[in-house]
Amino acid sequence: MSPKLKTVESQASLGVVVPKPGRSWGGLQPPGRVAAPGWDLDPKRQGRALPHSPWGYGPAVGGGFAGLDFAPPQKPEPRAPSAHIPVPAHRAPQGKARPDEVMAAAALTSLSTSPLLLGAPAAAFSPEPGLASWQEPLVQPPGSYSSGSSGDWGWDPASEQSSPCTPSPPLPPEAAHFLFGEPAPRKRKSSVQVLFQCLWKRCGKVLSTASGMQRHIRLVHLGRQAEPEQSDGEEDFYYTELDIGLDTLTDGLSSLTPVSPVASTPPAFPHLELPGLLHPLASPPPPVLSSARPPQACHSDHSYQGCLAPPRLEPQPGTGRACVPALPSKLGANLRKPRGDAKKCRKVYGVERRALWCTACRWKKACRRFLD
DNA sequence: AATGCCGGGCG
DNA sequence: CGCCCGGCATT
């Protein structure tokens, strides 16, 4: 009879995705990245049936939500946000190393633990090379501004108005650390920064810690005040992780080749909470470019991981294109937009996870999540 | 071939 | 409107 049973899909996605009435965006992402579990769907024809359980990422997660009748997800196993990345506690100096090696090792060890050599921030990371350390208390110098929000920073593309430039101090060294790499100075290579992005409809807030994100969701969206302890874990459902290739960032930031002259208005990436750094585009003329703002860490290509354009960076649809100073709007020309090179939902999530795309993308419209 | 998305159709 | 897709420009 009916050729396509699209209703099935929509219901499936909506039903599953929306634990609460009124919310429709179901950009939920399985814990951890791309586990791409049982999506045995055929992206081609097939009426794009969704996988049997869009968010049932395997039993490992506790299989809380596989059906339509799902209730607020069972706490899917306290997702240790960045617990993956097993950092060997320490490369224990081998007993039988050559003397010089031992020396080197010793030197390194002392280096990494000596506060003196590291300047101030020593306090920020525990002696134990830890993710744990940065996850929570990071970005918070012992005695300085410790406002209500206990230690997670974040920036909020959507509710920008709140305070684009929170009265924040010059940017403590810790922050720099955070920006440029990892919390702990060691653990150099192939590092991945994990951020947490709120998936609530028009929010998109990004925080550095899962706990912070949970709190955000709990308070702002769920309107609860409950103690985190007695949370039922529903918040988990409303945010996702963003992986950010730090290497990319570091590269970009440190070795800024004097390229990308004008126009290139790359999406600022999340951690640039620095008031001035943010909004290279939305803000008026660059108040002189002293030596300040680096062109930006990534202006194209492979660095998209670090450039996940924060959803909705633009101030308002109404104001028209206040940004993009140059670019003599060749709009007159019927030409389409040159096709921004920002990675769109499709690329980011892949066809298989179409359900995670923004609506626009799903409808084959201009992507609204990763604006150019 | 894959992507991004305009233009347009349908309920 | 929301939703979807044909089809075309781009990559």
Report CA(A199)–C1'(C10) in Å, whole number. Answer: 30
pLDDT confidence of residue A89: 38
Query: A219 by DSSP, 3-state: which?
Result: helix
Q: A229: pLDDT confidence band, cut at 50, 70 and 90? A: low
DSSP calls for A155-186: E-STTGGG-TT----S--HHHHHHHHS-SSS-
Q: What mean pLDDT is reported for chain A?
A: 46
What is the value of pTM for the model shown?
Answer: 0.28
Q: Where are the domains of chain A?
A: 193-244, 344-371
Burial (CB count <10 Å: 0-12, 13-18, 19+), residue A208: buried
Topology of domain A193-244, CATH: Double Stranded RNA Binding Domain (3.30.160)
pLDDT confidence of residue A362: 86
Report CA(A357)–C1'(B10) in Å, whole number. Answer: 23
| pLDDT tens digits along A95-144 | 333 444 434 333 344 444 433 333 333 333 333 333 333 333 333 333 33
* Confidence check: pLDDT of A248 > 60: no
Six-digit token pair at A58?
A: 């395997």
Strand B atom within 7 Å of A60 CB: no
State the Cα–Cα distance between residues A259 and A138, nearest whole angstrom: 33
Chain C: bases < 7 Å from a protein Cβ: 3-7, 9-11
Q: Where are the beta strands (DSSP E) in A324-369?
A: none
Overall average pLDDT of the A301-306 stretch: 40
Six-digit token pair at A193?
A: 């920064």
Nearest nucleotide relative to A335: CA against C1': C9
Six-digit token pair at A105?
A: 């090792």
State the Cα–Cα distance between residues A179 and A20, nearest whole angstrom: 35
Query: A240 by DSSP, 3-state: which?
Result: strand
Chain A 311..340 CB hits on strand B (< 7 A): 334, 336-337, 339-340
* Confidence check: pLDDT of A212 > 70: yes
List, chain by chain, residues whose CB lies under 7 Å from nucleic acid strand C: A 4, 6, 9-10, 24, 47-48, 335-336, 338-339, 359, 362-365
Contact A85, A132 (CB under 8 A): no
Report CA(A259)–C1'(C9) in Å, whole number. Answer: 28
Strand B atom within 7 Å of A84 CB: no
Report CA(A208)–C1'(B1) in Å, whole number. Answer: 38
* Confidence check: pLDDT of A209 > 70: yes
pLDDT confidence of residue A204: 74
Report CA(A310)–C1'(B11) in Å, whole number. Answer: 34
